Chain A
Amino acid sequence: MALANRINVVGSDELSRIHEATVQVLETTGVEFKSDEALALFRENGAQVDGHRVKIPRALLEKSLGTAPSSITLWGRDEKKCVTLGEGQTRTHVEPSNGCVFTHDMDRGRRSSTLADLIDFYKLAHQSSVCTISGAIPVEPNDVPIEERHLRIFFETLKHTDKPLKRNVQPGHEIEEMFEMYELAVGKGYLADHPSIYASVNPLSPLAFDTEPIETIMTYARHHQPVTVLSCALAGISAPMSLLGAAVLQNSEILSGLVLSQMVTPGAGVIYAPATAVPNMMNAQYVTGSPESHLINIVNLQMALELYHLPTRTMAGLNDAKVPDAQAGFETMQNLMQCMLGGSHIINECLGVLDSIMTNSFEKFIMDEEMISRVLRFMKGVEGFHTDLSTELIDAIGPQGSFLMHPTTMKNCRTAWRPTVSDWENHEKWEKQGAEDAMTRANRIYKERLAACPESTLDPELEAELSAFVEKRLG
């Protein structure tokens, strides 16, 4: 029995008002698409196109919402690791952080990230039971030449995980190359009926899509792979300062991306990803730890869950702390609870991330796993044995008795949630075991995990084939 309620920010009647406001924005203001191919498609489907500006009529929007699936099965190279995204899903799915340019750890501090750091983050994600989707680019491999990165990163992704994958915006030809490479591993033609990789695509807020994000949406849709349209507007900068105004703008952006995808391939998966933030208005900078940001995003989650029936995704473990300190802990937990209890199907930017997505920390990865596991446990609610009201047992033990020695306690005592990095010992034992704080324990744990991780998840023959593919393409 899951929790009886999700967190709702607005009542259901407000949702139809937001939907109508969105229709108005799409019909009268419109959205800019910087792609002739996309513009032609919109024109064919009855949208009014003026230069790059596309005014999307209600009928086209509603038709697209009708074909976008309410749930997506996403396959891993290990098919046992396949996940259901959206309706019918049984737990929140978790993907690694993405887009950090610095790596932080206790021993070496903050530094420009390298390929070796990226591989270590892939290894941690692959072994993590909390993390059900891998891929992304947890840290930028700054030591790999830019023109080689897309292939080298994807090679390492395939080498170090067999979970379902998340990827980023790329030019169309790079995506084609990547799918070709993936099918070397899983068999030619596999992707056509096995969604396995989704890309996260950002509109250029407010109300525009640049060329590469458009190519990404269209290429993925053509290959029956899902996209997640992630709007990350800043309220007061690239969106209205009004929280519901920001929700309307964000909804308009995400839905216009959805329309594009459905025009290419009706039924292609679209994951609705609200990620708008209330910035630091003192200096107009992006910050991620405001308790107000998810007042916007949860309204959008409500739209997706209640009105549109779409799979959803939010950036849930964000914080603005520079090191894994107390601020990192409380901002992360705030955002995790808001997003997860708001009903987000997938969470991202929640395994290691620090410093408004600039830095990824190995120790924080370990701490985040535990924070997520705490919320996952909470979300399972009260089920099974826990629904026993126990009146007979209470009567049998009586006042001043002890339940500690009752067989029901012994039988179930191991089912209770346990921490993986928090310390629950008494002071003496903690001292005896080295008086480690959470950071020190996390440092020890991540190193143990890396040491125990296999060097490759590929069989040697396939690995050689993929490597040869990469070298050939790079000339």
Chain B
Amino acid sequence: MADLKTITETLIAGDDEALVRNVQEALDGGMKAGTILSDALIAGMDVVGSRMESGEMYIPEVLMSAMCMGAAVEVLKPFLSEGDTTSAGTVVIGTVKGDLHDIGKNLVVMMMQSAGFEVIDLGVDVEVETFLEAIREKKPNIVGISALLTTTMPMMKSTVDQISESGLRDGVKIMVGGAPVDQAFADAIGADAYAADAGSASKLAKAMLA
């Protein structure tokens, strides 16, 4: 029977077939789904996160581990009880109106999902109204707003402004990111946090909700 350590190792190695097989074996051997999820998979993704930060793992490898995580969770799902699925939090994320870029935003989505967040991805070219609706409906802990173009940066400010004007600002933390964005800009538009890359975004999100 595959032990927790083996499951963690196959997750980090990004071998989805072996991981699914190992998880199934562990379940068949009587291991609790919740234990596998928290002690092998989420623990493994923590290792992946820190290895990405230190440069030991490259982004495609990190993404492969994240995809494996998704496949393993599918196997576990039917066996997870209510208490096992404590989500790290809910995140609504999108690229602002007028901007079609999503490579960076998609990396953030993958990293946050594998860190245990439930992520609602609104996609690209997102109208302010769409952000507002999603906040009302999904009641996220965090709203992530992305822009790559200097010309769409003002739209980040107006998105934040309208969240405030709609009375939804107090219920959420707002994170911003994208190549032209920095901490000073985040401060100036009244966001709560800025992250320079996908790894630090998911780490920061966890820290903000801790």
Q: Which 6 A-B pairs have the closest CB atoms?
A: A428-B196, A410-B60, A413-B60, A409-B60, A410-B64, A426-B196
A residues near B67, Cβ cutoff 8 Å: 405
Q: What's the Cα separation between A156 and B99 when bound, in Å?
A: 62
Is B196 a contact of A410 with CB atoms below 8 Å? no
Q: Which residues from 355 to 409 on chain A have a C-beta closer than 8 Å to any C-beta of chain B?
A: 402, 404-405, 407, 409
| Chain A interfacial positions (CB closer than 8 Å to B) | 402, 404-405, 407, 409-410, 413-414, 426-429
- Complex contact A405–B60 (CB within 8 A): yes
Q: Is the CB of B197 within 8 A of A426?
A: yes
Across-interface contacts of B58 in A (CB, < 8 A): 413-414
A407 to B64, CA, bound (A): 8
Known contacts A409-B60, A427-B182; is-contact A402 B196 (Cβ 8 Å)? no
Chain B residues closer than 8 Å to A410, beta-carbon distance = 14, 60-61, 63-64
Tell me if B209 is interfacial: C-beta within 8 Å of chain A.
no
Check A404 against B197 for contact (C-beta < 8 Å). Answer: no
* Nearest CB on B from A195, distance (A): 42
B63 and A404 form a contact (CB under 8 A):
yes
Nearest-neighbour CB distance to chain B for A179, whole angstroms, equals 47
Assess the B197–A429 pair: CB atoms within 8 A.
Answer: yes
Is B64's CB under 8 angstroms from A402's CB? no
**Assembled-state Cα–Cα distance A405/B66 (Å):** 10
B182 near A404 (CB under 8 angstroms)? no
A429-B60 in contact given A402-B103, A410-B14 (Cβ < 8 Å): no
Closest to A431 in B: B196
Name B196's contact: one of A405, A409, A427 (CB within 8 Å). Answer: A427
The 29 listed contacts between A and B (C-beta, < 8 Å) are A402-B103, A402-B106, A404-B59, A404-B60, A404-B103, A404-B107, A405-B60, A405-B63, A405-B64, A405-B67, A407-B64, A409-B60, A410-B14, A410-B60, A410-B61, A410-B63, A410-B64, A413-B58, A413-B59, A413-B60, A413-B61, A414-B58, A426-B196, A426-B197, A427-B182, A427-B196, A428-B182, A428-B196, A429-B196
Q: Would you call the interface of chain A mostly helix, strand, loop, or mixed?
A: helix
A-contacting residues, B61-120, CB 8 Å? 61, 63-64, 67, 103, 106-107
Residue numbers in B under 8 Å from A428 (CB-CB): 182-183, 196-197, 200
* B61, B64, B200 — most chain A CB neighbours (10 Å): B64
| A405 CA / B14 CA spacing, docked (Å) | 11
Q: What is the count of residue pairs linking A and B with beta-carbon distances less than 8 angstroms?
A: 34
Known: A404-B63, A410-B60. 5 other contacts (CB 8 A): A407-B64, A413-B58, A413-B60, A428-B182, A428-B183
Nearest-CB residue, chain A, relative to B107: A404
> Across the two chains, which residue of chain A brings its CB closest to B106?
A402
Nearest-CB distance from A418 to chain B (Å)?
Answer: 10
Interchain CA distance A429-B14 in the complex, whole Å: 26
Within the complex, the shortest CB–CB distance from A378 to chain B, in Å, comes to 22
Within 8 A of A (CB), among B27-79: 58-61, 63-64, 67
How many Å lie between the Cα of A438 and that of B183 in the bound state?
A: 25
**CB proximity of B45 to chain A, nearest CB, Å:** 16
Q: Which residues of chain A are near B59, meaning CB under 8 Å?
A: 404, 413
Please give the distance in Å from A415's CB to the nearest CB on chain B.
Answer: 11
Taking CB atoms, residues of chain B closer than 8 Å to A404 are 59-60, 63, 103, 107
Query: Smallest Cβ distance from B153 to chain A, in angstroms?
Result: 16
Give bound CA distance, A59 to B13, whole Å.
67
Residues of B within 8 A of A426 (CB): 196-197
CB distance from B106 to the nearest CB of A (A): 7
A429→B53 CA distance, assembly (Å)? 10
Give min CB distance, B138 to chain A, whole Å: 25
A277 to B58, CA, bound (A): 45
Smallest beta-carbon distance A432→chain B, Å: 9
Q: Cβ of B60: which chain A residues have Cβ within 8 Å of it?
A: 404-405, 409-410, 413
Tell me the minimal C-beta distance from B172 to chain A in angstroms: 23
Bound Cα distance A84, B92 (Å): 60
Bound-state Cα–Cα, A414 to B107, Å? 19
With both chains docked as a complex, state the minimum distance between the C-beta of A213 and any C-beta of chain B, in angstroms.
50
How far apart sit A183 and B114, CA to CA, in the bound complex (Å)?
Answer: 62
Determine how close the nearest CB of chain B comes to the CB of A267; give it in whole angstroms. Answer: 50
CA distance A103 to B200 in the complex (A): 42
**In the complex, how many angstroms separate the beta carbon of A333 from the nearest chain B beta carbon?**
25
Complex Cα distance A405/B65, Å? 10
In angstroms, how far is the closest chain A Cβ from the Cβ of B204? 11
| CB nearest neighbor in A for B59 | A404
A426–B14 alpha-carbon span in the complex (Å):
26
Nearest CB on A from B23, distance (A): 20
Return the chain A residue nearest B195 by Cβ.
A428
Q: A71 CA to B37 CA in the complex, in Å?
A: 62
Q: How far is the CB of B22 from chain A (nearest CB, A)?
A: 19
CB-based nearest A residue for B53:
A429
B183 to chain A, nearest CB (A): 8
| A-side contacts of B107, CB under 8 Å | 404
What is the CB-to-nearest-CB distance from B111 to chain A, in angstroms, rounded to a whole number? Answer: 13
Determine the residue in chain B with the shortest Cβ distance to A409: B60
Q: Which of B60, B67, B196, B200 has the most CB of A within 10 A?
A: B60
Compute how far the CA of A459 lies from the CA of B209 in the bound complex, rounded to whole angstroms: 60
Interface centre among A404, A409, A414 (most CB of B within 10 A): A404
Among residues of A, the one whose C-beta sits closest to the C-beta of B110 is: A405
CA distance A413 to B103 in the complex (A): 17
Tell me the B180-203 residues at the A interface (CB within 8 Å): 182-183, 196-197, 200
Give complex CA distance A175, B185 in Å: 68
Q: Residues of B contacting A413 with CB < 8 Å?
A: 58-61
CB distance from A71 to the nearest CB of B (A): 39
A427 CA to B106 CA, complexed, in Å: 21
Q: How far is the CA of A29 from the CA of B61 in the complex (A)?
A: 67
Residue of B whose beta carbon sits closest to that of A429: B196
